[in-house]
Amino acid sequence: MNLVTLPSELLLCIAASLPSAKDILSFVLVSRTTSNLLLSSLYKFNIQHQNSSALHRAAQKGNLHVAEVMLHQYRPDVNAIHDANTPLVYAAIHGSESIVKALLAKPQTLVNFQNEQGQCALWWAARQGFTKIVKDLLQCPDIQVDLPETEYGLTPLAAAVEKGRATIVKRLIQTGRADVNAPDRLAWTPIFHAIDRQDSTILKILLADDRLDLSWQDDLGRTILIYSVSKGLTALTKMLLGHPKPYVDNRDRHGRTALFHAVHQGNGDLVQLLLDNGSDISATDVEGLSPLHLAIRQENLSTVQKLLTHSRRDPSTLWPGATHGIHTAPPPLCLATSQGSEDIVRLLLDHGWNVNEVDAEGQTPLHLAAEIGDHTIVRVFLDHTQVDLHAQDRSGSTALHNAANRGHLAVVKLLLAEPSIDINAKDGNGATALWWATRRNNTRVAARLLAEPNVDINAVGQFERPLPDRSTSLHHAVRGRANLIIRLLLREKSLDPNVVDHQGWTPLACAARQGDVKTVEWLLARPDIQGNASKQNEQSPLWLAARHGHIRVVQRLLEFQNIDINQGWGGYLSPLLAAIVAGHTDVVMRLLACGDRLDINAQTYQKESALSLAARYGHLQVVDAILRDPRTDRNSIDDQGRTALWWAAYEGQTTVVGRLLEDTDVQVGIKDHQGAGALEAARSQHHFGVTGLLGPYPVGHRRDNILRT
């Protein structure tokens, strides 16, 4: 039987029973008869079972015939969603103008539908540049013109600007409904996208809208002017500045203006353009830096010239606090000086800059030039009639202090050539320029200062931080073995060579401590020198020399008249005891040779005698010499009741014990406060050699008594 010969009703019934559109299409294609008869079944199946996908495909392909057939004959759901989009969105994406018009003719069409990405028909048409579709969509009374997509938050206007669709941008703005200031997720308004793509045509359109707000800031705090300048776009920046409200001095989140960014780029044209539009050269960022600072840091003389020439204000008002150092950033002249930028320094001064402005530390430009040793810039300042030679920073230092401290001889000479210079000015700690020169061992500078008349050579620094320091220039010279300075100082009659420093040392004591025989000789040649300690906690030169084993110094000091050879340090050891403890046998023997001048029985604060210490440390030669002195108390006890013999036995000093036992006045049986005698002390430490020596001697008897028995 031929299928096509069947009645139409039966063919339609068969088509309706087929399970898929593919099967129905196969049936439709059998013949022209079946095609004409059964095509309606295919449309109906698509609407009922395939969510009107044929209409979506027609919108994508621009197939107006299929779209009209479906819309007029079969009444599909015009808002059916296929792959996240409606037919209208598909038509807008692909520029199917006729289909958009046909869909808009249906009152039930949702013109504001947004897919999962938030993209609506108007958004796509604007982005793709389909002007006719945009026009048709805008004629819909309920169209929402600012619906943003969800990924970047772009509105249709922003999408059109981003893609450079100038005609569409203009049409959207002309509606009066598009928000020209709507921000996206980066806080960019449409004008940011126009600047980003350097589109002067769209920029001009946007600038013509009275609603445009140029003060808006993106997520980095940038206005559109700052953004344009930061990209170096001179022509577009000029267009922005033509706006009635360009907000030239608005700042980003770092407090930086457009002018700051122009200077940062070194773009002279942009700098001039901004200056011509009233930019403030003194506007500072969060770090206290102004465009002028930045130009100086870059040593951009041309930009500095532009900035200064443009300003008609008093220079002192360009940098608030420039005279009082209230900012953490250095004021401009101080900054230029610190960098050694002579040309910029001259330029600032030529524009009337305050030559005595100060930084946060209270230092003037002259201070800074002296500190870095830039004699050329120092000369520039000295030629200025208003420079303050006597200005002091927060520590009380003058420029001369700084130059002397750093050892800049050329600068010191320039400053000393000034008639009004105060060579003896003291800083907050009482230190003069000479004090600092000797403290830093800057010999040439110190010698030059000493060549000046009436220089204060006895200034005493009074420092507590970072470490205590109460010393004179003579102390410094002695410590540094600066022989030239020592000799120059000693020639001065006004010198006080006996000042005691923070350690309790005079210059003579310093030299003795170092074992510097030559300096000791020079100091002792002064008629006003004091060889002995005269103040509380002062350490005597002889004590220091003995303690540190400087035998030649000890010998020279012992020759000095009126030397007190027994003077110790406060309540501590005498020179003899100090030398014994330190193990300097040669010094001990030299002191012992002094005879009656020496206190042979001197004791430590623990009541230990010279004999006891020498015995304890095993110095046999010293023990023998002490025992030969008839003044020696052989049985002196310390604060624990222990004698020299006890300590020698306890320490296992066998030869010393033997020597002590040879002395008939040494008592063997003296016990300490715990009831232990020399024998028990030796036994406690297992010194069997010592116990062998002590064993024959009965407790409580002296050796001479035992010998007689």
The CB density around residue 263, as the number of other CB atoms within 10 Å, is 32
> Is the pLDDT assigned to residue 557 strictly greater than 90?
yes
Long-range CB pairs of 128-133, under 8 A, 24+ apart, other chains included: 128/92, 128/93, 128/95, 128/163, 129/160, 129/163, 129/165, 129/167, 129/168, 130/92, 130/95, 130/97, 131/165, 131/167, 131/168, 131/171, 132/97, 133/91, 133/92, 133/95, 133/97, 133/100
CB 189 within 8 A of CB 227: no
CB 557 within 8 A of CB 545: yes
The CB density around residue 451, as the number of other CB atoms within 10 Å, is 10
**pLDDT given at position 467:** 82
- Read off the pLDDT band of 355 (50, 70, 90): very high
* Phi and psi angles of residue 173, each rounded to the nearest 5 degrees, phi first: -70, -35
**pLDDT given at position 323:** 47
- Which residues on neighbouring strands pair with residue 469, listed in sequence order? 463
> Is the pLDDT assigned to residue 146 strictly greater than 60?
yes
> Is the pLDDT assigned to residue 60 strictly greater than 80?
yes
Distance CA 524, CA 43 (A): 126
Distance CA 378, CA 342 (A): 10
Polymer length of the chain: 709
Output 54 or 439, whichever has higher pLDDT. 439
- Which residues on neighbouring strands pair with residue 82, listed in sequence order? 85
Quick: pLDDT tens for 596-630. Answer: 999 999 999 999 999 999 999 999 999 999 999 99
Quick: pLDDT tens for 288-302. Answer: 899 999 999 999 999
**pLDDT given at position 44:** 59
Taking each helix axis from N to C terminus, what angle separates 131-138 and 97-104, rounded to the nearest 10 degrees?
10
- Read off the pLDDT band of 75 (50, 70, 90): confident
Q: Which residues of 35-48 are buried (b: 16+ CB within 10 A; e: fewer)?
A: eebbeebbbbbbbe
CB 364 within 8 A of CB 399: yes
Domains of the chain: 600-709 (1.25.40.20)
Output 696 or 169, whichever has higher pLDDT. 169
- Read off the pLDDT band of 18 (50, 70, 90): low
Distance CA 445, CA 531 (A): 30
Distance CA 592, CA 600 (A): 8
Output 499 or 60, whichever has higher pLDDT. 499
Kindly give, in sequence order, each residue whose CB lies less than 8 Å from that of residue 480, ignoring residues fewer than 6 positions away.
438, 441
Kindly give, in sequence order, each residue whose CB lies less than 8 Å from that of residue 229, ignoring residues fewer than 6 positions away.
237, 258, 261, 262, 265, 267, 270, 274
Mean pLDDT to the nearest integer, 308-313: 76
Quick: pLDDT tens for 258-280. Answer: 999 999 999 999 999 999 999 99
- Read off the pLDDT band of 462 (50, 70, 90): very high
CB 134 within 8 A of CB 122: yes
**pLDDT given at position 392:** 98
Q: Amino acid identity of 493?
A: K
> Is the pLDDT assigned to residue 161 strictly greater than 80?
yes
Quick: pLDDT tens for 147-159. Answer: 999 999 999 999 9
Token digits for 260?
């700051």
Element spanning 239, H or E: helix 234-241
Mean pLDDT to the nearest integer, 507-523: 98
**pLDDT given at position 701:** 45
Kindly give, in sequence order, each residue whose CB lies less than 8 Å from that of residue 112, ignoring residues fewer than 6 positions away.
120, 142, 143, 144, 147
CB 335 within 8 A of CB 296: yes
**pLDDT given at position 32:** 55
The CB density around residue 141, as the number of other CB atoms within 10 Å, is 5
- Read off the pLDDT band of 695 (50, 70, 90): confident
> Is the pLDDT assigned to residue 455 strictly greater than 90?
yes
**pLDDT given at position 704:** 45
Distance CA 465, CA 80 (A): 83
**pLDDT given at position 317:** 54
Conformation bin of residue 697: beta by default, left when phi > 0, alpha when psi is -120 to 50: beta
Distance CA 558, CA 594 (A): 9
Mean pLDDT of the chain: 90
- Read off the pLDDT band of 58 (50, 70, 90): confident
